[in-house]
Structure 1
C-alpha cells in the first residue's frame, strides 16, 4: 500500500461518526468512517487521497488494542493477544497497513480503565507526539489539526514491539 500524500489522522476513543462527517466538509480534508470494519477499503482510500488531511476512524491496531485491553482485563488468553499482534505486525511489515501519522483520542477524560492505559501508556510510550488527547468537538479537532507537532516517524522496530505487548503492563505505564 502506498503512503498517503497528506497527514493521516485516526479519530479514536469516542463517538466519531458525526465529527468525521463535519470535518469532511472542510477544504483539503478527506474524512470518512470505516464501513463494517472494512480496513482494506480504508487503506485503499487513504493511499489514494490527495487531501492535506485524511481523517477517519480507521485504526490498523484496533484488534491489537482490544486484545491487549481484554488480556489485562482477564477476558482473553495470551494466545489471542499474540495472534492479533502477529497479524498486525505482518500487515505493517508487508505494507498492507500503515499507522496513521496521528491518533487523536477524543474525550480523553471519558476513556476508562485499561483503555486509558492503552492510549496514554502502551501506545504513546512508543511515539508520544503521535497520540494526542482532544475534546470531541469540530472546533477543537480543527485547532489540533492546525498545531500538530512535527514528530519523528513511528519507530522502525514498532512491528516487533507489537509481538511483545504482553510485557507492557498497564499499572507500570506512566499516564499523563
Structure 2
C-alpha cells in the first residue's frame, strides 16, 4: 500500500470518540468518527475560523474502516485522526489471553483476522497511537500499549490526558521513529510469547 499524504493518528481510549470530535475543525486536521456517532456538524456551530475540516455526513450502510480508508486516501491535511484501531481486537485478545478471561484460540483468531485485513489493505497500521489516560487502564491493557506496541516502535505510542487541548498539543509534538515490523506476520504471531510482566513499560 502506498503511504498516505497525511500522518495518520489513532486516538485510543474510552473517551476517544469525544476527543476525535473535538479535534474536528482544527487547521490541517481531518477527523473521522465511527459511523455510530453523529457525523454531522452540530446545529448552530459556525465554521472554524482556521478553515479546518468538518466531518462528512453519514451514509447509510457505510462502516468505520471504509470511512477511514476513504479519508486517508483523499486527505491533503497534515493529520488524519480517528479511533478505528486495526489492532483493537488483537489487543483485547492479548489482554484476555494473559488475564485468562478469553476462550482458548481467541488471540490466534484475532491475529489472523488482523493480518488478513492488513494484507488485503482493508486496514493499515497508523503512524501513531495516542493513548488516553493510560494510568487508568487495567494493568494488562497498559502493558499492551506501552510494553508490546511501544516495545517494537517506541515513539509511535504516546500517552495523553483525555482532553482535546492536550491531545492537540501531543499530536503537534510527535517524534519520528522506526516503523512497525514489516511484514507484521512474525511479530503478531509471536504475541502469545510476550508476557506482560516481561514487556517493559515505556510510557
TM, length-normalised to structure 2: 0.80
Contact persistence 1:2–1:47 (CA under 8 A): no
CA distance in 2: counterparts of 1:73 and 1:33, whole angstroms: 30
1:158 counterpart residue number: 184
What is the aligned length?
176
CA distance in 2: counterparts of 1:61 and 1:126, whole angstroms: 14
Cα deviation, residue 44, structure 1: 2.6
Does residue 1:29 correspond to 2:46, yes or no?
Answer: no
Structure showing the higher helix proportion among its residues: 1
Which structure 2 residues correspond to residues 1-176 of structure 1 after superposition, within 5 A? Answer: 2-36=2-36, 38-176=64-202
Cα deviation, residue 2, structure 1: 4.8
CA distance in 2: counterparts of 1:110 and 1:135, whole angstroms: 10
Contact persistence 1:10–1:57 (CA under 8 A): yes
Cα deviation, residue 150, structure 1: 1.4
Cα deviation, residue 145, structure 1: 1.4
**Which segments of 5 or more consecutive residues in structure 1 lack a partner in the other structure?**
none
Contact persistence 2:32–2:67 (CA under 8 A): no
Q: Report the structure number with the largest CA radius of gyration.
A: 2
**Which segments of 5 or more consecutive residues in structure 2 lack a partner in the other structure?**
37-62
State the SS of the aligned residue for 1:133. strand
More deviation, 41-50/122-131: 41-50
CA distance in 2: counterparts of 1:14 and 1:105, whole angstroms: 10
Select the structure with the greater relative contact order (CA < 8 A; seq sep ≥ 6).
1
How much is the aligned-residue C-alpha RMSD, in angstroms? 1.7
Cα deviation, residue 57, structure 1: 0.4
Cα deviation, residue 142, structure 1: 1.5
Contact persistence 1:13–1:105 (CA under 8 A): yes
Cα deviation, residue 156, structure 1: 1.4
TM, length-normalised to structure 1: 0.91
